[in-house]
Each structure stands twice: as C-alpha cells, then as structure tokens.
Structure 1
Amino acid sequence: MAWLRCSIGFADRDGQFNMRILAVDDDPVFLELLAGMLKAIGYGHVTTVASAEQALHEVDTSTQIYDCILSDMQMPGLDGTALTTAIRLRSAYRQTPILMITAMAGKSFVDDAFTAGATDYITKPLDMIELKARIGMVARLLSERHRLAEFARLVGQRAAQVDINADFGAPLLIPGFDRGIEFLAMENYLLTLGVKRMYATAAFGIHVKNASMIFNKASGATYIQMLGDVGAQIVDSLKAEDVKIAYAGSGTFVCITERDMGQTTEDLEIMINIGLMDFEAIYATDRLPVPQVRVGEIARSSFLSPTKPTRMLERAIAAATAPPEKRGKSGQMVA
C-alpha cells in the first residue's frame, strides 16, 4: 500500500526529531529567511527550490523522501495549488504534510489549497512562534503515522488473526478512501477561515453505531477495513454533494459543506445503511455485524454566539454520537 509510504526523518546527536523539509518559493530572500527560521527552531535539513517545476523534479529524483513540504501560493508557472495537486499524485507523497505559506488570505485561495490537498495554511508575514507551533504539529503527526505504518501493509487483508494495535479513538486517513482528508487538515481549514468567514459552512457527523462492538471483536486490520467500507458508502451516497469528509476517530466521520444539501440527513442515513447491507455476507464470514450508521443533524455557526471554528465539528460529532434519548423531536441533540 504505497499510499502510506512515509519517511519519518531521524534524530540528531541530541536525540531531537528532525525532518527533511522541501521549501518552495520564487522569492530567494524569503527562502533564505524561512530556512534560517526553521534552523533556529531545530529543523536544519531544509532544501530550497525557486519554482514548482523544480520542486517536482526534486521529489521525483531525490534518493530520500521529504517529510514535509512548505510552498508559496502564487508563483510563476505552476502555482502552489497546482503543485500540491501534482505532489498528491505521487504515491510516496499522498500523505506528506504540505503547508502553504503565502500572503494570499482570501477564502477562495484557502479553499483551493485545502481542496488540492494542503494540510495547513499560514499567512505571511511569518511569525517564529506560529511557525514553530505548526511545524511541531507536523512532527507529532509524522510520529503518529510511523506508529500506524503497519496498517499500510496489512489493511488490505481481512485476516482476523492479524493483530494490529489500532487506536479506537484516533483520527486517521483510511486506506483507499480517496475523497477523505485528514481530520487535522479539516480543523486547519476551519481555523484558517476564521470565525467571520465560516458562517456559510456547515458540518454533520456520521457515526458507526456498532463501531465499538466491531472494534472489540475484530482484528485491527479488519476494523480499518470496516471503516473503509463505510467511507466508500458515504462517498457513494454523497457523490452529488460538494463536501469534505474526514474520519475523526471513535467510529465517527465528519463532513463539512458550504451548500444546502440536496437530501435530508435522514435520507442520507438510509442510503448509507442500505449500501452497507451489500457487505452482509462478508461480515457474516468474519462473524461480525454489518456496520450501521447514524447521521447527525447539521451544525452551523451562529452570528449571535460565535465560538472557535472547530467547535462546529465538535457539535456535529456530538449530534451524531448522542443516544436517541438525548435528541429532541427535530433530531437535534438536547443539552
């Protein structure tokens, strides 16, 4: 499963985690500044290139895989969005963190970057503290991926005897789930939009009601395969909708959209569950129940009570995971 191929850097003589970073910007002065800031916060293995074309040549010819890519948005020739799209087509870089560092703060630029596959979006002028926090986040993400790398080799097997140390509560990027983005990228997208610009955005959760039961009975590989089955049905049921989908952990997917849905959440729930019944014979062979989902009511931001952008995701997940007795007549979760 080449999609999860990931080089996890190395430790220097002091034992500090270090990453191989590729920085892309057509401004040589900024590139020098960025490399200096990265070195100052402990990341000295930085390769700089002056264009997207040079970046693609570098990732294609380098003998070592880069752990993280930092790219400008607006550049002559291929821009940062096109570069991100091109990099994601390389199997070795489908999950590599890509951080856009740009002066372009407009929502359309943010949308384009995350739709292309960006992991995070930082606006210039660059702040040392913010850069350290964002790169530190990437280091933690890569460390977690290293722990999950065994999934790439085994997740395609429905072998109950295979013992994988799966973490029920952890978000992850599910193998084969092509329309899915990382939950971290979804959070970063909303944080980049900010409170004022996200009022048109809505979120809803899709919870596998018997996920805990399947997790406790199945091997780690089979559990991840189950999540892939559910993800495939979510994508098929939402194929006419413009949504971003991420797996948030604990058997729950979360979706965000900026358009009114062409179907109700009740109809969506029915469609997904009907689709999952096609897997009944496979789950019976594994002596497991067919996964069943609950789709929560749509959560939106309020002009009257603005909160941090990621709070909307929390409310969407809570609405999908709340037991029936905690829901109101409209399906909304009751406090």
Structure 2
Amino acid sequence: MRILAIDDDPVFLELLAGMLKMIGYAQVTTMPSGEEALHELDYSGTLYDCILSDMQMPDMDGAAVTAAIRTRTAYRQTPILMITAMSGKNAVDEAFAAGATDYITKPLDIIELRARIGMVDRLLAERRRLAEFARLVGQRAAAAEIKAEFETPILIPGFERGIEFLAMENYLLTLGVKRMYSTSAFAIHVKNASIIFNKASGATYVQMLGDVAAQIVDALKTEEVMIAYAGSGTFVCMTERDLGQSPDDLEILINIGLMDFETIYASDRLPVPQVRVGEPARSAFLSPTKPTRILERAIQSATTPPERRSKNGQLVA
C-alpha cells in the first residue's frame, strides 16, 4: 500500500513512518505541508492508496487539505485518515465534512493504528469497484460491465453531498456516547429498490440512486445534514438540527420530485422509485448503547412498513 503522510512536525513524521513500517507498511512518503502534499499528488506520477494528514498545520490545515484532495478525481474515494491532538466535536465535524474517512487522535497507539490501516486495506478493493462505477455510470452501452451489489454501501458517483456510510459510522464512533446525545439520524428507503435492481442494469440502478439522492437534497433544503447510502436501497441522514418538517411531509416532497422522472423510467420499462421516510432515532444522554446504534434504528424504522411499527417507531411483534 502506498501511503502519503502529511504533518508539519518532522519528528512526528519520522515516528509515524517507523510505526507504519513496524506493522508492515513500508511504502510511505512524507510531506511537511499541505501545499507540498498537493504538489506531490499532482506532479509525482505516484497514485497513493491512503493519505494520513495532521489536522493542525500552518497556512493550510488538515480539513482544507482534505477538501482540496477530494477535488482531484483520482482521489475522490481514497481513504483519508486525520491524525491530530484535537478531539473536540467541532474539529471532528470539520474533518468529516471535508471528506475524511476516519479520525485518529494523538498520541498514536500502534494497535489502533494497525486496526485503522487494516480497515483501509479491506476497503481498497471496494474503492476500485466504485471507481469503475464512476467511469461507467451514464454509459448505458457499457451497463453490462457493471456488477452492482444490492446490499453494499457505495459512494454514489456525482452525488457531491454524499459521504461514505463507513465515514458516518466512524464519525459517530469518534464523537462517543457522551458527545452525541444531540445528534439524530433518520433513514430514507426506496421501497421498490429490489424490483428496480432486479430489472435494471447496474449503471441504471446506480443512476436511480443518484436521482433519489438529488431529490433528498432538494427536499431537505439545508446543508447541515450528513447523507450516506447504506446499501439495500436505503439512505441515512444525520443532523443536529430540527428539520422543521415531519417524516411524512419529507416523504411526500421526495416522492413528488421523483414523479418528474416518470417518462425516463417508463422508457426503460421500470417503475418510478418511491421512498419511505422513517422516524428519527436519537441516543439518550449517557446511553450505554454503542453510538452507531442510532443508524441501525433509523434504518429499521424506514425499512419497516408503518403497519408493523408501534407508536414510538419500534417493530411490532
């Protein structure tokens, strides 16, 4: 794995490179600033598999570096891990909003570093598949080449507001239980996603997800919502604000917007996607449950028909 590490502290860079070598990753290039790292990405001819960046750096901080890296097509989906002594919620929000995949705090623990880089190793194969999606999406003639997987979370090509579902999970884990009590999540499920998946080509199915994503953004009318596609036709949204509209109203708005695509779907002999919006899920203050449980509960609410839910949104036996 080719790794680019960015930090203005040369001592820490040497320590980080040494730790990476100890756990089996010797192909490490170090850069002392964000500007030099961007120059390396643009002109070296080396394609890096993973980027580690400090958050606090002069001139160009880690969030700005991450945002700039994400504008490079070749690095749209490359794992970026922020490494910093900052652990405040604002810093975490800023890192993930810029496009970070994960967030590790200093001082580094070699066991944790091994686990996080190991996660990157497992993700790389999926990244390559998503890159192929991005190349082929929209090319109906090449649709047969795309092998979409129904249950797999993906980063939808062209959906700039979307983040990876893994990044959303990592965000919650980074916040921890005590700091996430103000965060809520709700899911939006494409009720006929499996029907469209079974009838459509891989490219057409991904285009359908893009259509739904665009309507979600239009209906929400706010930038302060994280949106990720969790697989199986389900989007998950996370926010700290009251959206000012009920799940029923949001559902109506999205479905009305999707009806504008009726002619396009009819030409492909496909039904227009129709969504169900679930009830918001929130963790109680100092709840002992794992932080990502709110995502599971949000997905469960959206994927469960209303007649099988109780008044509080839980499943009816």
TM-score normalized by the length of structure 2: 0.96
* Corresponding residue number in structure 1 for 2:217: 235
Give 1:20-99 correspondences, 5 Å limit.
20-99=2-81
Q: Which one is further off, 236-245 or 145-154?
A: 145-154
Q: In the alignment, which of 275, 283, 294 is matched to residue 265 of structure 2? A: 283
* Corresponding residue number in structure 1 for 2:192: 210
Give 1:117-196 correspondences, 5 Å limit.
117-159=99-141, 162-196=144-178
* Corresponding residue number in structure 2 for 1:197: 179
CA distance in structure 1 between the partners assigned to 2:121 and 2:210 by the alignment? 26
CA distance in structure 2 between the partners assigned to 1:334 and 1:99 by the alignment? 41
Q: CA deviation at 1:29?
A: 1.0
Q: In the alignment, which of 294, 299, 304 is matched to residue 322 of structure 1? A: 304
CA distance in structure 1 between the partners assigned to 2:252 and 2:121 by the alignment? 40
Partner SS state of residue 125, structure 1: coil
CA distance in structure 2 between the partners assigned to 1:314 and 1:231 by the alignment? 20
Cα offsets for 1:36-60 (capped at 9, x unmatched): 1111111111000111111111111
Give ranges in structure 2 of 5+ residues lacking alignment.
none
One-letter code of the match for 1:279?
Answer: F
Partner SS state of residue 175, structure 1: coil
Q: Which one is further off, 173-182 or 83-92?
A: 83-92
* Corresponding residue number in structure 2 for 1:312: 294
Partner SS state of residue 162, structure 1: helix
Q: CA deviation at 1:323?
A: 2.1
| CA gap 1:160/1:323 in 2 versus in 1, 3 angstroms | farther
Cα offsets for 1:113-166 (capped at 9, x unmatched): 111111100001101111011011111111112234332222112459625221
TM-score normalized by the length of structure 1: 0.91
Partner SS state of residue 307, structure 1: coil
> How high is the sequence identity, in percent, across the aligned residues?
79
Q: Is the 8 A contact 1:160 1:218 kept in 2?
A: no
CA distance in structure 2 between the partners assigned to 1:323 and 1:66 by the alignment? 44
Give ranges in structure 1 of 5+ residues lacking alignment.
1-18
| CA gap 1:333/1:126 in 2 versus in 1, 3 angstroms | same
Q: Which one is further off, 174-183 or 323-332?
A: 323-332
Cα offsets for 1:255-309 (capped at 9, x unmatched): 0001111211111100000000000001000000000000000000013643111
* Corresponding residue number in structure 2 for 1:251: 233
* Corresponding residue number in structure 2 for 1:292: 274
Q: Is the 8 A contact 2:186 2:278 kept in 1?
A: yes
Q: Is the 8 A contact 1:171 1:247 kept in 2?
A: yes
One-letter code of the match for 1:34?
Answer: L
| CA gap 1:190/1:34 in 2 versus in 1, 3 angstroms | same
| CA gap 1:279/1:35 in 2 versus in 1, 3 angstroms | same
CA distance in structure 2 between the partners assigned to 1:88 and 1:290 by the alignment? 32
Q: Is the 8 A contact 1:21 1:68 kept in 2?
A: yes
Partner SS state of residue 196, structure 1: helix
Q: Which one is further off, 322-331 or 156-165?
A: 156-165
Q: Is the 8 A contact 1:20 1:68 kept in 2?
A: yes
Q: CA deviation at 1:222?
A: 0.7
One-letter code of the match for 2:290?
Answer: K
CA distance in structure 2 between the partners assigned to 1:246 and 1:223 by the alignment? 17
Cα offsets for 1:51-96 (capped at 9, x unmatched): 1111111111110211111011111111111111111122221211
Higher helix share: 2
Q: CA deviation at 1:247?
A: 0.1
| CA gap 1:305/1:194 in 2 versus in 1, 3 angstroms | closer
| CA gap 1:94/1:253 in 2 versus in 1, 3 angstroms | same
CA distance in structure 2 between the partners assigned to 1:185 and 1:163 by the alignment? 28
CA distance in structure 2 between the partners assigned to 1:149 and 1:106 by the alignment? 33
Q: Between Structure 1 and Structure 2, how many residues are aligned?
A: 317
Cα offsets for 1:202-245 (capped at 9, x unmatched): 00000000000101111111111110110111111112251000
